[in-house]
């Protein structure tokens, strides 16, 4: 057998091919309206409901502007690209508790990522929500879990240059926001709003949802590590 034939017949251990098609569909569906207005026959339900609300609001200019800068919805947050990211105080993750206390008081099965194991510290409540549970790992990673039923939809505003990745987290769509200017904006009654910056300066954040829980993984580790951590979360009932 010639060397060329031998090479063609070689079986090599390729890494598993990710299902890019599903992620691409999400990513194109959630692309900014200005780019894909004419090519978008479908949208993810969360995004669609927001757009429907905007149409119902008769496309009042400020609402229309908000929709056009909308990138996607994940982890209980709607993500928007803005020219100027507002300043705010650091996000408060709540009071220190044990994992058992957090599970009991928050009233849901707080899961831990297999890749990281038991957390070094646990926080409950804070700015995000009374039932938000944050697991602290060292000084570089925080995983927060919030039941959808109690989560308020906050706006994650990111600067023009911040890089995004639309990823697949064990079968559900997620959005990775690389480090860079960003703020979390909670709208109050009327025109009041509260602005918070990251609990971990210099961190990126991965947002996704599964089984009625919103997940936000803030970490200073590289994107690949963040994704690996997210994918190591239990997915079964």
Partner 1 sequence: MRAYEDLVRLHQQLAFRTAFVLAGSAADAEEAVQDAFVKAWRALERFRPGAPFRPWLLAIVANEARTRRRAATRRRGWTERAAWDAHAAGDDVGPSAEVAVLDRERRALLLDAVERLPERDRTAIELRYLLDLSEDEMAAALGCRRGTVKSRLSRALARLRAQIGEAL
Chain residues binding partner 1 by CB under 8 A are: 3-4, 6-8, 10-25, 27-29, 31, 35, 39-42, 165-166, 223-224, 227
The residue (of 51 and 153) whose beta carbon lies closer to partner 1 is: 51
DSSP per-residue string spanning 96-114 = EE-HHHHHHHHTS-----T
Phi-psi region of 39 (alpha: psi -120 to 50; beta: other; left: phi over 0): alpha
Q: Give min distance, CB of 39 to partner 1, in A.
A: 7
The residue (of 24 and 48) whose beta carbon lies closer to partner 1 is: 24
Q: Give min distance, CB of 16 to partner 1, in A.
A: 8
Helix (H, G, I), strand (E, B) or coil at 61: helix
CA distances (Å), origin 15, targets 18, 176, 229: 9, 22, 18
Q: Give min distance, CB of 230 to partner 1, in A.
A: 13
Q: Give min distance, CB of 37 to partner 1, in A.
A: 13
76-40-169-187 Cα dihedral, nearest 10 degrees = -10
The residue (of 18 and 107) whose beta carbon lies closer to partner 1 is: 18
CA distance 158 to 215: 18
Q: Give min distance, CB of 232 to partner 1, in A.
A: 14
The residue (of 24 and 59) whose beta carbon lies closer to partner 1 is: 24
The residue (of 163 and 193) whose beta carbon lies closer to partner 1 is: 163
CA distance 180 to 162: 5
* Burial of 222 per CB tally in 10 Å (0-12, 13-18, 19+): exposed
Q: Give min distance, CB of 233 to partner 1, in A.
A: 18
The residue (of 8 and 87) whose beta carbon lies closer to partner 1 is: 8
How many C-beta neighbours within 10 Å does residue 36 have?
Answer: 12
């Amino acid at each position: 057998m010639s060397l060329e034939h031998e090479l063609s017949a070689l079986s090599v251990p390729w890494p598993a091919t990710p299902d890019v098609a599903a992620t691409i569909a999400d990513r194109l569906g959630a692309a900014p309206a200005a780019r894909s207005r004419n090519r978008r026959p479908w949208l993810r339900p969360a995004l669609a409901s927001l757009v429907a609300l905007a149409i119902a609001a008769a496309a009042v200019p400020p609402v229309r502007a908000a929709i056009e800068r909308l990138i996607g919805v994940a982890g209980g947050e709607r993500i928007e690209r803005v020219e100027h990211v507002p300043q705010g105080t650091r996000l408060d993750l709540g009071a220190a508790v044990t994992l058992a206390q957090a599970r009991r008081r928050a009233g849901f099965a707080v899961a831990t990522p297999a890749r990281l194991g038991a957390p070094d510290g646990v926080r409950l409540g804070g700015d995000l929500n009374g039932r938000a549970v944050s697991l602290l790992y060292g000084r570089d990673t925080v995983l927060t879990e919030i039941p959808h039923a109690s989560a308020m939809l906050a706006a994650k505003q990111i600067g023009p240059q911040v890089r995004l990745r639309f990823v697949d987290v064990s079968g559900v769509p997620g959005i990775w926001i690389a480090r860079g200017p960003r703020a979390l904006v909670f709208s109050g009654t009327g025109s009041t709003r509260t602005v918070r910056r990251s609990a971990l300066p210099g961190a990126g954040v991965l947002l996704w949802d599964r089984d009625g829980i919103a997940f936000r993984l803030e970490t200073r580790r590289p994107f690949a590590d963040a994704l690996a951590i997210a994918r190591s979360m239990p997915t079964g009932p």
